[in-house]
Amino acid sequence: MGGRATDLIVIPDSFWLRPETLAALRDRDIGWLFALLRQYAGASQTQIAIACGMTQSKVSCIMRGIAQVEALAVFERIAYGLGLPDPSRKLIGLAPGEPPAPAAPGRVQREAILPGDDDPGLTAFPVAGLLDPYLAGEQEEAGPVRRRTFVGLTVTSMVSTMLDGLPHDHDPAGCDCFAAVLTGQPAGPAQEPDLTALAEAASSARRQYQACGYSELTRTLPQVLTHLDAACRSLDGVARSRALALCADAYHVAAGLLLKLGDQGLAHLAADRSMRAARTSGDPVTVGASARIVTHALMSGGHLAAAVSTARSHAEDLDRGAQTHTPESLSVYGSLLLRGAIAAAQNGDRPAAHDLLAEADQAAQRLGADANHRWTAFGPVNAKLHRVNIAVTLGDAGTAVDVARRIDLSAIAITERKASLLIDVARAFLQWGRHDKAYLSLRAAEQLAHEEVAGRPSVRRLVGELATSAPPALRRDAEHFASQIGIAR
C-alpha cells in the first residue's frame, strides 16, 4: 500500500476470495473491481491504469460509472494485468490462463464505453421506467454486461412523479407547535381522558411516521401530546401507567420526527420527555423503547460514545430483567443493539459496531421473522438494513451494496425503512463514485417516500452533493431532480 504511483500493485490472494470481489467479477463490473482494489490493495488509479494498459482518466471514468468495459479483449487485458487467478477468470467469463492480445506499440486499445464526457454521442441519462437493474438476486443480460434487478419495488415511472406534500424546508411554525408543548405550561384536562381514543391516536401517529407522512404528523401530533400529558396528570393506578406508556411512545415519535426535520434542540427535549414518562410507567420494555430515541438524540448531538454506552447498558438491563423474553422485549432489545451499532460505526469503532450487530443478529434469529412489535420493525431483514447503513458509515461501500443486493425489498413492510435502505444504497454508490446508480436510488426513494427525501435536511444535502459532483452525462438530470425537491442551485 502507498509507495510511488509507478510501483506495481500488490494484491493479496485473499482479495480474490472476498464476497464483494466475487460479486464484482460475477457482474463483470470493472468499476466496482477497481474500487475494491483501491480499498483493499491500496492501488491508485495510476497503478491500475499501468497494470491494465489504460490511461488514468479512463480508469477514473470506469470507476465513476461514466464508462463501462464491454470488449472481450479489454476484459482479457485487465485480467492479465491484474493477475486474476483461474477461478476469478471463470467468474468474469474468461477461459483460464489465456493472455491478452498485445496492444499496438505506443497505444492503448480503446474499450467500448457508454456515453461519457469524452463521447461525442453524449445524451441525457435515461430515467424513465423502472429502477436500473442492480440490487436484487435475479440477473438479466444487458448485452455482454450483466446487471442486477430491484425486486418488488413498485415504481412505475420516475419521470411522471408529481412532487407535492411537505414544503421544501421544514416548517418552523410546525416545530413551534412542538415547542409550545415541550416548554409551555401544562393545561388541565377539559374532559375525562378516553384512553382507548388516546391509544388509537398514538398508534395513528406511529403509522404516519412509519409511512413517512411527516407533514400530516406535524399538524396532528402536538395535540395528541397535549391530551396525553393531561391524561397522565389526571389518572392514577393502572390507567395512569397505561397513559404514561402511551405518552412515552408519542414523545418518542415526536423526537424522531424532529430529528428528521433537523431540529435537534426540540428533539432532545422530546426524547427526555419520552424517557421520563417511560421510567414513571415502571415498564422495563417501555424504558428500553425510549432508550432507543435517547440514543438517537445523543448521536445527533455528536455524543457518540455516550450513545453506544446508553444503548448497550439499556439492552443489557432489558436482557437481564427478562426471565423469558417476549416478542416485544426481544424486539426492543435487538433494536437497541442495532442503534448502538450505528452509533459505534459513526464513532469509527468498527469492532464494537460488528459485535453489536452480531448480537442483534442473534436476537433477530430468536425472534424468527420481522414484525413490528413496539413499532420496532425488528427482525432478520431489519438487521440486514442496519448492516448496510453501518457498512456505508464505515466507508465499506462495496460491502454495503453486496448486502443490499441480497435484500428483497418486498419483504420490508415499513415504508420508512424501505426508503432508508434506498438512501443508504445511494450513499454507498456516491461514496463509490457510481453517480448514476446513486441518482436512481434517490429517485426510487423519493417516489416511494417523497417526504423522506424532500423534507429531511440530511437527505437533501445528499441530493445536493450528487448534483454538484455528478459527471456531465448525468449532471442535468441530477440538477433537475435537486430543483424539483427545492434545492436551489
Domains along the sequence of the chain with CATH: 13-123 (1.10.260), 168-282 (no CATH)
Nearest to 388 by CA among 439, 353, 348, 363: 353
Please give the pLDDT value at position 191: 72
Q: Is the pLDDT of residue 242 over 50?
A: yes
Where helices occur in 261-369 by DSSP H, the ranges are 264-281, 284-300, 304-321, 327-346, 350-367
Q: Is the pLDDT of residue 312 over 70?
A: yes
Please give the pLDDT value at position 188: 53
165-179, 193-207, 245-259: range with lowest mean pLDDT: 165-179
Highest mean pLDDT (candidates 9-13, 214-218, 311-315): 311-315
Please give the pLDDT value at position 190: 57
Helix (H, G, I), strand (E, B) or coil at 142: strand
Nearest to 428 by CA among 440, 414, 412, 411: 440
pLDDT in tens, 65-122: 888 888 877 888 898 889 899 889 888 888 776 444 443 333 233 333 222 333 322 2
- % of the chain surpassing 90 pLDDT: 60
Separation of alpha carbons 469 and 479, rounded Å? 10
Q: How far apart are the first and last CA of the chain?
A: 39
Please give the pLDDT value at position 80: 84
CB 401 within 8 A of CB 428: yes
Please give the pLDDT value at position 187: 60
94-108, 253-267, 306-320: range with lowest mean pLDDT: 94-108
Please give the pLDDT value at position 9: 78
Rounded average pLDDT over 182-211: 86
Nearest to 38 by CA among 15, 55, 58, 54: 15
Rounded average pLDDT over 209-231: 95
The long-range contacts involving 98-104, CB below 8 angstroms and separated by at least 24 positions, are: 100/73, 100/76, 101/73, 101/76, 101/77, 103/53, 103/77
Question: What are the strands, taking DSSP E only, across 356-473?
Answer: none
Nearest to 244 by CA among 298, 290, 191, 190: 290
Joined together, the cell numbers standing for residue 264 give 435537534
Separation of alpha carbons 412 and 407, rounded Å? 9
CB 71 within 8 A of CB 112: yes
Separation of alpha carbons 266 and 272, rounded Å? 10
Please give the pLDDT value at position 164: 31
pLDDT in tens, 4-57: 444 567 888 889 999 899 999 988 899 999 999 988 888 888 888 888 878 888
77-91, 155-169, 399-413, 428-442: range with lowest mean pLDDT: 155-169
